[in-house]
Amino acid sequence: MAEKNLHLQPRLRCLADLVPQQARLADIGTDHGYIPVYLLQRGRIDRAIAADIGAEPLEHARRTAEEYGLTEQIDFRLCDGLAGIGAEETDCILIAGMGGETIISILENAPWLRYGEHRLLLQPQSRQELLRTWLTEHGFRILREHLALDKGTIYNVMQVQAEVSAPLSEVELYGGVNVEEDPLYGDYLDWQINKMAQAVKGLRLSKNDDAQQRADELERLMALLNEKKGAWQRDKSSGN
């Protein structure tokens, strides 16, 4: 019987492609366990830790591994964030599909990450700007970001290392860090601008001064991102 091959959707594929060859991967919040299974199947890694805070998602990961005959190569851990994982057990930590605030709390609770021996791959579902700020203020540098279009949504994946980082510009904070080479960058900026425009619409309905000030601030940021998009498009069409 032909061996079954697991295929990944673009968001997960983008994450999997960034895991270094032979990494000692820890997939935190693994849920379905697709990323470790995909990488093991292709011989990109030899072993992985698949961790989740929930017994049910971890069971899901176990079923996926069973389906592809890979249970022996995966260490299943029921734990909150990195609480059940030792620093020396991994060199690549993937945290995906969770809100920015949850990712921050997982990183905060693992002070050993600050020694700089681990590559982090982070894919926040929300509060991207909050996560970017937290990282740069807490000894982490976003090396670059990658974008993936999956079922009509653009997701960003951050490659992060514990290193001193310069403060981010406002464009980086809302539009991503070192991501201009990604063909989806213009669409990502549009998505951010549209999100802000929606928020402004709601705020303008309020008579509250604070709400009006916030709306003014968002409009200023929208203009900055629009300007960046124009410059990016000009660069692209001139071949820079």
Ligand X SMILES: C[S@@+](CC[C@H](N)C(=O)[O-])C[C@H]1O[C@@H](n2cnc3c(N)ncnc32)[C@H](O)[C@@H]1O
Q: For binding to ligand X (CB under 6 A), which residues are involved?
A: 12, 28-31, 51-54, 57, 80-81, 96-98, 102, 106
Of the pair 35, 218, the CB lying nearest ligand X is at 35
Distance separating alpha carbons of residues 240 and 228, to the nearest angstrom: 15
Closest CA to 50 of 94, 88, 6: 94
Least distance from ligand X to the Cβ atom of residue 231, Å: 32
Distance of closest approach, residue 18 Cβ to ligand X, in angstroms: 13
In sequence order, the 6+-apart residues with CB closer than 8 A to the CB of 233 are 186
Least separation in angstroms between residue 116's CB and ligand X is: 22
Half-sphere exposure of 131 (CA within 13 A, CB side): 31
Main-chain dihedrals φ then ψ at residue 51, nearest 5 degrees = -120, 145
Beta carbon nearer to ligand X, 52 or 145: 52
Query: What are the tokens at 2?
Result: 């032909």
Query: Position of tokens 């290392």?
Result: 161
Q: What is the DSSP string of 100-128?
A: HHHHHHHHHT-GGGGGS--EEEEEESS-H
Measured CA to CA, the distance from residue 48 to residue 24 in angstroms comes to: 6
Token pair, residue 25, equals: 């991967």
Query: Residue 234 Cβ, how far from ligand X at the closest point, in Å?
Result: 35
Question: Which residue, 106 or 218, is less far from ligand X as judged by CB?
Answer: 106
- 62/236 with CB nearer ligand X: 62
Q: Name which of 51 and 225 has its Cβ closer to ligand X.
A: 51
Q: Which is nearer to ligand X, 101 or 219 (CB)?
A: 101
Quote the CA–CA distance of 201 and 215 in Å, as a whole number.
8
Q: How far is the CB of 216 from ligand X (least distance, A)?
A: 35
User: By the 8 A CB rule, do 156 and 124 touch?
Assistant: yes
What values do phi and psi take at 109, rounded to 5?
Answer: -85, 5
Q: Among residues 37 and 225, whose Cβ is nearest to ligand X? A: 37
CB of 101 to ligand X, least distance (A): 10
Minimum distance from residue 72 beta carbon to ligand X (Å) = 22
